[in-house]
Chains A and B, each alone.
Chain A
Amino acid sequence: MSHNAIQDRPPVTTTTAVKHDPLRHARLPRWTPFAVAVGSITAAVGLGLAAGWHSRIQWGLVAATFFVLATYVITTKVEGSRQAKDRVATSLVWVCFILAVVPLLSLAWVTISKGLEVLDPYFLTHSMNGVLDAEAGGGVYHALLGTIEQVGIATLIAAPIGLLTAVYLVEYGGGKLSQAVTFFVDVMTGIPSIVAGLFILATWNLMLGFGPSGFAGAMALAILMMPVVVRSTEEMLKLVPNELREASLALGIPKWRTILKVVLPTAIGGITTGVMLAVARITGETAPVLLLVFGTKLINPNPFEGAQSSLPLYVYEQYAVGTDAAVARAWAAALVLIAFVMILNLVARGIARWKAPKTGR
């Protein structure tokens, strides 16, 4: 029956289908988006010049609006409204991307170009001792030293606690306590840095009566660092295949030796990466350092006594001074800081790729 039904179809329909194939809509040529983009940018620049707008951002926004509108109108005319929506969505996504890239590129470019004006070996090896605000010269050595000491102490406090907590959560976890720890680690990730600073201020400085010091700052930084270390280590330990643990336990090796000799070495690459990323994150924290370390122009190598400086704090102080020479120093210190953080990031990601745990698949 069905066979008959198919054969019953008059052959005439196929010929009409060839004439007016419903499966193939009219399509715009591939170069259409480029043409529309060029057109709308030209129109926006022309309009901007004619109306005398000064802001280049405004030109860009007008061009983007033209582009989206023109795309919609042209595509609706030729391809239909569904395709038009698709094209508008595509162009909106591109516009989003460009909108975001412009400020971020500008940030990188400005920091590098302004920073290189002042940055030289002298800047890295001298402090601000005796340098007047309006005077050029001086350097960032005391701040660099302070940052390295504070971040080092913070890492010494936070890394072991964070690591052991992660081991507890993954290897011994499952109970009520580990659920609570997991939840509060998550919550702790979101603590504003200034609140961590206030906490140390309230306890260490106001209640115990200590003065500002690098160590106080380091404790606040450690609070900010711990949850980051826990989360990343936890993820890495979860990647270690269970067969490895079982094989080791089956050989009669105690659990703690299994963890130390089998689980941790397998995940060591990822754990190192996590710790370094956490270090990179706290290196740029200004707020707790501002409250607790206080800032100084002198070199103070002792983190346990007296005010120190740190790179982000130095940037803030020099900006606040406001003279040309000081702002130039702020940019140079910002470049040093960003280079420090980026190098840490790149090395950490390099280690992650190089020592990625073998998941067995």
Chain B
Amino acid sequence: MVTTTPPIRNSRRAEGASRPGDKVFLGLSRGSGITLLVIMAAIAVFLTYRAVLAISQDSTNFLTTSEWNPAGQPPVFGIAVLAFGTVVSSIIAMVIAVPVAIGIALFISHYAPRKLAKPLAYVVDLLAAVPSIIYGLWGAIFLVPYLGGLNKWLDDYMGWTYIFDKSSDGVARSLFTVGILLAIMILPIITNVTREVFLQVPKMHEEAALALGATRWEVIRMSVLPFGRSGIISASMLGLGRALGETMAVAVVLSPSFVISGHLLDPGGGTFAQNIAAKFNEANEFGRDALIASGLVLFVITLLVNGAARWIIGRRKEYSGAAA
């Protein structure tokens, strides 16, 4: 009986392939899948090609130079400032957004009154769809003036930490502000994914903890958080990927300069994406190649971050990641 199964499957496949309609349909759908792979490969290949064209003309070290002047004679450009700004603003965003997002996810899944929970989840879904340029506009016109007070307070009382020391006057168009804005922007996506994982915690685990007399917080610490740990990590990585590649909000809020400064509250600095958006219009063809080279670095970084997130998700089959 066992041996009869494979022949049936084989014959069905053979029959299916013999029909012309099936052949065409399979070809079309497989072709689409291959098209996607080709696009991914093409992105990597063409960006690398243009980047190599640019970097081979660069008169300094591309990775460690903190200057951007591809039109100069000889051309001088490097990504040190951009890498620093991108990493710092993303770290600030993550430090703020991840705990708050976990809090909101717990609120929706375990704390909110039942009637409130569903509409709330819905609203968070909608917020994830707000275009980034609108966050940017709001950030530049509303958040920046409001953060003046907070910046002054941080400077007065935390100035001794060096990073919160505000050495120059001026509005809060700093990496710190960018980090806060990015945190607000990535909150919805981290919350969404985390909440989905929290809802999948087996009811039995929670009820067992409750039956042992645990308080609600102990239930969360003993059963919800351990179960959701990998989900939280991967959600954070997805958020990090967004924060790293965010262009318009940063371009609108930051007042860029090509200086690496540990004083986070000072205006200045830059990120990969912001620099591309800001320098694009004035760049000639070689300048555009230089920008493409910096874009390639961004591409590789986000690829690594997202790949790691997917790998962590992939180890847990129960969670599909569809909402991402």
Asked if chains A and B come from one complex, the reply is: yes
A residues apposed to B, CB below 8 Å: 53-58, 82-83, 85-86, 88-90, 92-97, 99-100, 103-104, 106-107, 110-111, 160-165, 167-169, 171-172, 177-178, 180-181, 183-196, 198-199, 201-203, 206-207, 223, 226-227, 230-232, 234-235, 254-257, 259-260, 277, 280-281, 283-287, 290-291, 312, 315-316, 319, 327, 330-331, 334, 337-338, 341-342, 345, 349
CB < 8 Å neighbour of A57 from B107, B131, B150, B242: B150
List 29 interface pairs A-B (beta carbons < 8 Å), by A numbering.
A57-B147, A82-B218, A83-B215, A86-B215, A89-B216, A96-B103, A96-B107, A97-B104, A100-B101, A100-B104, A161-B35, A172-B30, A177-B30, A186-B306, A187-B40, A188-B36, A190-B241, A192-B273, A193-B245, A194-B298, A195-B245, A195-B302, A202-B49, A206-B288, A284-B130, A287-B248, A316-B133, A316-B136, A349-B122
Query: Which residues of B97-137 have CB atoms within 8 Å of chain A's CB atoms?
Result: 99-104, 106-107, 111-112, 122, 125-127, 129-137
* Minimal beta-carbon separation of A346 from chain B (angstroms): 8
The answer to whether B36 and A199 have CB atoms under 8 Å apart is no
Residues from chain B with a CB closer than 8 A to the CB of A186 are 306, 310, 321
- Nearest-CB residue, chain A, relative to B100: A96
Q: How far is the CA of A142 from the CA of B241 in the complex (A)?
A: 33
Say yes or no: B126 contacts A180, CB within 8 Å. no
B187 within 8 A of A: yes
Question: Distance in Å from the Cβ of A155 to the closest Cβ of chain B?
Answer: 15
A348 (CB) vs chain B CBs: closest residue: B129
* Count: A-B pairs, CB below 8 Å: 284
Q: Which of A93, A172, A232, A283 is in CB contact (< 8 Å) with B26? A: A172
B123 to chain A, nearest CB (A): 8
Considering the chains assembled together, what is the distance between the CA atoms of A168 and B34 in angstroms? Answer: 10
- Chain B interface category by residue count: 35 or more
- Minimal beta-carbon separation of A161 from chain B (angstroms): 5
Residue from B47, B100, B285 within 8 A of A198 (CB atoms)? B47
Closest to A330 in B: B137
What would 19 more interface pairs be, CB under 8 Å, given A86-B216, A198-B291, A206-B288?
Answer: A55-B146, A56-B146, A90-B216, A103-B143, A104-B127, A104-B184, A163-B32, A189-B324, A190-B303, A190-B309, A191-B299, A199-B43, A287-B247, A316-B136, A316-B251, A319-B137, A319-B252, A327-B141, A349-B125
For the complex of A and B, 5 pairs with smallest distance between CB atoms: A284-B131, A192-B245, A96-B103, A55-B149, A190-B306
Q: Would B47 and A188 count as touching, CB distance under 8 A?
A: no
Q: Smallest Cβ distance from B70 to chain A, in angstroms?
A: 14
- Cβ of A94: which chain B residues have Cβ within 8 Å of it? 107, 111
Task: Name A55's contact: one of B150, B241, B302 (CB within 8 Å).
Answer: B150
- Return B209 CB to nearest CB of chain A, in Å: 12
Contact A312 B292 (CB under 8 A): no
Whole-angstrom distance between the Cβ of A117 and the nearest chain B Cβ: 14
Among B14-22, B77-85, B254-262, the stretch that binds chain A is B14-22
B271-289 contacts to A (CB < 8 Å): 273, 276-277, 280, 285, 288-289
Residue of B nearest to A195 (CB): B299
- Distance (whole angstroms) from the CB of A276 to the closest CB of chain B: 11
Q: Mark B36-47, 1 if CB is under 8 A from A, else 0.
A: 110110110011
| A195 & B298 in contact (Cβ 8 Å cutoff) | yes
Quick one: which of A191, A227, A231, A327 has the most chain B CB within 10 A?
Answer: A191
